A = this chain, B = another copy of it.
Amino acid sequence: MGEEAFEDLAEHLQRREYEGREYRHVPDYRRGVERGTVLLEGVVVRGFPKVPRTLVLSEGVPNHFEDAEVAVEEKLNGYNVRVACVDGDVLAFTRGGLICPYTTWLLDRRLDVDFEPIFEAYPEAMLCGEVIGPENPYTSHDYPAVDSIAFRAFDWRDRESGDPLSVRQRRERYESFGVPQTRLFGVYDVDETAAAVREAVAELDAEGREGVVMKSADARTQLKYTTSAANRGDLAFAFSLPFDYGQAFMFRRLIREAFQSVEWDESDERARERAHDLGEAILLSMRDSLRTVDEGGTVGERHTVRGDDEAIDALVEHLRGQGLSLEVETDRREDGDRVLTFRKRAQSTNDKIRNYLDGHVVRE
């Protein structure tokens, strides 16, 4: 895919600017080109493809893979980043195709990964990974080994064609450059994969981790499956901001729980426990948010980030530039770093909860 094909998409493109350089990106899913695809100074950086999901491992895995073998890797709960080098600059692109100045700064200064030699050897590479950890401006989640924030590679593609390296080649290459990667549970015969995934998922679930991504050896076919802990975490989060999260988002996670319960042939007692956990994720998180607003507080995603002054300022400006309303809670210094805690104000949720608590009626 070249600049010309990209021009055909012109009407679907959004213009943005990064440090005085204009770029364009594809903000929504479209036929023929991935969401998040970027055009910057004549260079195309392809979006990361959507990964389909199965609700039932035993049937979905053999159905989806025509291959003899399937690699099972951990799916991490953070944000998806593509790293590419354009005109000598190593840049971090988020899923939707924005250049995130904070992530770009992180890559260069904090993530214990030296990207320069990789791009010297492979200038057209698009390095795909998850940025995880508690000090995270987008998706904060605790991982035992991560105090602040970290990068874990899970894919390596050609930035223009989007073609991936095979799983084996990719893992070896990242290894050779000392780049940390997502965990590989193993490579299995396709007929053994569902059972292997179920075991991996049980282990991940017990640790509150997200799930797995299965990949064909050539990495061209992908499939994901998540833990109940991840479903519940997502639900608790979404229902804490019920009027800002899509109902489809909530619904899908409820459905997943039912399919998992049936596939795993749970006893009535075990299913009832799952139901109770699910109910708590939904109701107790809504209740907390209603109480917060009732007591005059504000609800919204809370994040802490750590960096130098300039990086933090750029992040705040970047988020506000996307229309987010940020409330700074604390802004302090620690070990020479600036540590900022802020809340992304969830406008609809704050307004609607307030209105309903004030007795505005619902006409539905």
Contact = CB atoms under 8 A, between A and B. Distances in A.
Interface stretch (A18-26, A89-97, A148-156, A250-258): A250-258
Given A53-B364, A262-B287, A59 B357 contact: yes
Contacts of A64: 359, 361
B250 A251 contact: yes
A258 B271 contact: no
Interface stretch (A166-174, A184-192, A277-285, A301-309): A277-285
Nearest to A285: B258
Contacts of A276: 275-276, 279-280
A294 B356 contact: no
B262 A283 contact: no
Given A280-B275, A361-B223, A262 B294 contact: yes
> Number of contact residues on A: which range applies?
35 or more
A354 to B, nearest CB: 11
26 contacts: A50-B363, A52-B361, A52-B363, A55-B356, A55-B362, A56-B357, A59-B358, A60-B359, A60-B361, A63-B360, A64-B359, A247-B247, A247-B250, A254-B283, A255-B286, A258-B283, A258-B287, A261-B287, A262-B287, A271-B284, A272-B284, A275-B284, A276-B280, A277-B279, A279-B280, A282-B282
Interface string A159-184: 00000000000000000000000000
Interface string A334-364: 0000000000000000000000111111111
Interface string A31-59: 00000000000000000001011111011
Contact of A286 (B52, B242, B254): B254
A304 to B, nearest CB: 27
A282 B261 contact: no
Nearest to A276: B276
Interface in A229-281: 239, 242, 247-248, 250-252, 254-255, 257-259, 261-262, 271-272, 274-280
